[in-house]
Structure 1
Amino acid sequence: MNKYYLLIFLYLFISSCNSVHKISNSDRKNIISELNYIEAIDQKYAGIPPKDWIAKYGSDEAWKLFEDKRDSVGLDNQIRVKNLYNKYGYLGFEQVGEENSYKFWISIQHADNDVPFQKKILKVLEKEIKKNNAEKSHYALLEDRVATNKNKKQRFGTQLTYNESGQAIPKIGLSDSLNIDKLRLEYGLPTFKEYHNEMTIRHFEMNKEFFIKQGITEPKVFE
C-alpha cells in the first residue's frame, strides 16, 4: 500500500471513529425519549416502597420486592446507557442539553455492579469537563462512587450512610477532611455541612414512622 492510499485509509478510519459523535435531529429525538424513560424508571425505584406495597406485603417483603425490582431496572438501564454510549459517545451538553445529559449520567452513577464501566466513564468525564461539555459535580459524585465501590475513602464526601440517629455521614470515610469544602466548591458542590444536613432531613422524612418509634421526632442536623 503506497503512502497516498495509506493516508486515505487512515482518514476514512478516523472519520468512521468520529462518526459515533454525530447526532442527527431524528437521532436526538429518539435519544431524548430513551433518556426520559431511563431517568423516570430510575427515580421510580430510587426511594422507598410505595405504601400500598407495604400494606399488601408487609414492610420486609415489600422492601425485598422493591429492591429486586430496583436491581432489575438498574441492569436494564445500564444496557440502554451502554448502547447509547457505544453508538454516540458521551452524551453531554452539546449533544443533548444539560438536563438530558444528567439523565444519561445518572444510570452510570448507579451502575455499582460494573465498576470498570464507571471508571471508564470517569476518565471520559474528565475530558468532557475540560471541553465544558459536562458537569463538574457529576465527576465528583462518580469519583466518590467508584472509591466507595472499591472500599476506599472518598474525596468529596458525596456517598453517604446513616448513623443510629439518622445523621448522614460519609460512607467509609474521607481522604482529606480539612480541605473538603475548598474541593467541593471547586466542583460546584454545596458545603459539606449543608449537604449532610439536607440529606439527614431527607432521610428522616423518608423514614419518619421508623424514627418516631425510636423516639426521634425530628432530624438531628449538624450544628
Structure 2
Amino acid sequence: MKHLPLLLFPLLIGCSLNKEINENDRKKVIAELDYIEKIDQKYARIPSEDLINKYGQQKAWEIFSTKRDSVSIDNQAKIKKLFSKYGYLGFNKVGKENSTKFWLPIQHADNDVEFQKQMLQELKKQIELKNANRNEYAMLEDRVAVNTNQKQRFGSQVTYNSNGQAIPRNGLIDSVNIEKLRAEYDLPIFKDYYNNMTIMHFEMNKEILIKQGISEPKLYK
C-alpha cells in the first residue's frame, strides 16, 4: 500500500484495556470484524478484470488504489474505536479467527506508523499471555521496521528484483538464523515463502514480465 497523508490520532491509552465484553457486545464486535476483513481482502490484491476491461490497466489501478486507501483509513478508524473501548481483541475476547480480523487493518496501517508501533507493543503483551498469534507479531514487527527504513528480523515483507524474484525489503538483520527464528514465530520455511510470493507476483504481473523476457517464475533452489 502506498503511504497516505498521516492522520493525527491521540495515542489510544486508557483504563479500558482489560474491559470484558458481554455476549451481546461480543456478537456486534464480531459482526463488525467480519465486515472489516471482507472489505480489507476485497482490496488486498489487484483490480478486478471487469474494472480493467472497463477503464484500462492504468486508470483501473488509479481507481482501485484510491478506493483501497479509503477502505484502509475507514477500517483503521473502526479498529481504533474498538481498541479504545475493549483493548486488544485477542483470543479470549473474540476467538482466534476474529482476532486476526482485528489485526489486519493494523498491519495495513502504513499511513500511521505510530499507531502500528503502539499496537506492536500491545500485541507483544498478548503474545506473552498466549492470547494472540505469534506470526502476526512477527509480521507487524517487520512492517514497522520497513516503514521506518530498518532491516527485518523475519523477512515477511518482500519486494522483487529484476528477475521477478521475491527478496526481503530493506534486507535482513540476521540471514544465518532466519529459519530458526521464523520457526519460533510459526512462520513458513523461508525458501517456500519466497517461492510462493514469487509465483504469486508472476501470476499477477504475467503480461508485463513476459514482455521483459521472464516467461516463468524464477524460483529459489
Same fold (TM over 0.5): yes
Q: Who is 2:54 aligned against? A: 56
Q: CA deviation at 1:214?
A: 2.7
**For the residues of structure 1 that align with 2:206 and 2:82, how far apart are their CA atoms?**
39
Q: CA deviation at 1:200?
A: 0.8
For 1:94, the aligned partner's letter is N
3-state DSSP class of the match of 1:182? helix
- Where does 1:30-69 land on structure 2 (aligned, <5 Å)? 30-69=28-67
Q: Who is 1:29 aligned against? A: 27
Q: Is the 8 A contact 2:16 2:87 kept in 1?
A: no
Q: Who is 1:153 aligned against? A: 151
How many residue pairs get aligned? The number is: 208
3-state DSSP class of the match of 2:72? helix
Q: Who is 1:218 aligned against? A: 216
Q: Of residues 102, 105, 113 in structure 1, which corresponds to 2:103?
A: 105
For 1:217, the aligned partner's letter is S
Q: Is 2:179 the partner of 1:162? A: no
Q: CA deviation at 1:17?
A: 3.0
**For the residues of structure 1 that align with 2:73 and 2:15, how far apart are their CA atoms?**
27
Q: Is the 8 A contact 2:117 2:144 kept in 1?
A: yes
Q: Of residues 89, 93, 96 in structure 2, which corresponds to 1:91?
A: 89
**For the residues of structure 2 that align with 1:30 and 1:106, how far apart are their CA atoms?**
18
3-state DSSP class of the match of 1:175? coil
Higher mean displacement: 184-193 or 206-215: 206-215
Q: Of residues 174, 178, 181 in structure 2, which corresponds to 1:180?
A: 178
3-state DSSP class of the match of 2:15? helix
Q: Is 2:202 the partner of 1:200? A: no
3-state DSSP class of the match of 1:37? helix
TM-score by length of 2: 0.91
Q: Which structure dedicates a bigger proportion of its chain to helix?
A: 1
**For the residues of structure 1 that align with 2:112 and 2:166, how far apart are their CA atoms?**
25
Q: CA deviation at 1:207?
A: 1.8
Q: Which has the higher contact order (CA 8 A, sep 6+)?
A: 2
Higher mean displacement: 200-209 or 36-45: 200-209
For 1:107, the aligned partner's letter is P
Q: CA deviation at 1:20?
A: 5.2
For 1:160, the aligned partner's letter is V
TM-score by length of 1: 0.90
**For the residues of structure 1 that align with 2:16 and 2:101, how far apart are their CA atoms?**
23
Quick one: structure 1 residues 195 and 93, their matched pair in 2 at CA, closer, same or farther if it must change by over 3 Å?
A: same
Q: CA deviation at 1:18?
A: 4.9
| C-alpha RMSD over aligned residues | 1.3
3-state DSSP class of the match of 2:219? coil
**Paired-residue identity, %:** 62
Quick one: structure 1 residues 19 and 110, their matched pair in 2 at CA, closer, same or farther if it must change by over 3 Å?
A: closer
Q: CA deviation at 1:165?
A: 1.7
Quick one: structure 1 residues 146 and 43, their matched pair in 2 at CA, closer, same or farther if it must change by over 3 Å?
A: same
Q: Is the 8 A contact 2:47 2:61 kept in 1?
A: yes
Q: Is the 8 A contact 1:23 1:88 kept in 2?
A: yes
**For the residues of structure 2 that align with 1:215 and 1:180, how far apart are their CA atoms?**
32
